[in-house]
Amino acid sequence: MTRYISPLLAFLIGLSKITAQDVYSIYETIPNAGIPCRVMKPIKFDSAKKYPVILSLHGAGGKGTNNRKQLKDWNRQLADPKRRNQFPCYVVAPQAPGLWNGEQLKIIQKIIAELPSVDLDRIYIMGHSMGGHGTYIYIQLAPKYFAAAAPSAGSGLKRTEEFIDPEKIKDIPIWAFHGDKDRVCPYEKQLKVFNALKNLNGNMKLTTWRGDNHGVSGKMIEPTENGKTELSSKRCDDEDDFLTWLFKQRRHH
């Protein structure tokens, strides 16, 4: 069951939302990284601790080289002080000029490796639209690297090609999100991925936003009552709060 946020609570959350300017100061530029990239550091950083990493992949609206457009609504949500205190972590937000590819992943992995006090068993990836597609691509390119994945409104399915290889990702905890009226990245493609992993006893959850189109990126962290969540198998963690679920996941060696 997807967690419901009441109108009053949504209003109160809205009052404390991080502004765009706040986000640019919280997410610091990483110089000479090889690609444009910003990083939000763990709040109250303690070098004696190990911190998980969220790799955040923007959609087509974030494409470019200005190192600003890639910060989206979920980046603002993750920057909320209460969330940062509850779930201290790094958030790595690179920017791509086009579709996410393997060369960018190598650079991103180098950026993450150079961050201090990183928990390499808790590297997570999430993204919306082109970033959701990129999430599926990256967990197939590096299935042993990521501890969990959260693609929103992206299926990993190209227009004329099949999903690359569900066998590669069946053991990675995945929580996908999609509006069932999405015509930018059709919902049916997401269902195809879900059913492929279901047939393999994979570890995938799918939240369907009933009646919603493509613009659902803000609902991963702040869900609404029109979501229905299905599990591909009994292997799935049935935790219904996304961030609580995410931070419980660890890479298996």
Coil, strand or helix at 50: coil
Predicted local confidence at residue 20, as pLDDT:
62
Predicted local confidence at residue 169, as pLDDT:
95
Alpha carbon distance 13, 21 (integer Å): 18
Q: Which of 80, 91, 73 is CA-nearest to residue 30?
A: 91
Mean pLDDT of 184-212: 95
Predicted local confidence at residue 12, as pLDDT:
39
Q: Which of 22, 36, 54 is CA-nearest to residue 147?
A: 54
Question: Is the confidence at residue 87, as pLDDT, over 70?
Answer: yes
Predicted local confidence at residue 230, as pLDDT:
98
Residue ranges of domains in the chain, CATH in brackets: 7-248 (3.40.50.1820)
Tokens of 159: 């227009």
Q: State which amino acid sits at residue 164.
A: I
Side-by-side strand order, sheet with 227-231: 28-29, 37-40, 90-94, 51-57, 118-128, 148-152, 174-179, 204-209, 227-231
pLDDT digits (tens, 9 = 90+) for 131-186: 999 999 999 999 999 999 999 998 876 643 445 689 999 999 999 999 999 999 99
Residue 60: count of CB within 10 angstroms of its CB: 14
Predicted local confidence at residue 161, as pLDDT:
45
pLDDT digits (tens, 9 = 90+) for 23-34: 899 999 999 999
Question: Is the confidence at residue 212, as pLDDT, over 80?
Answer: yes
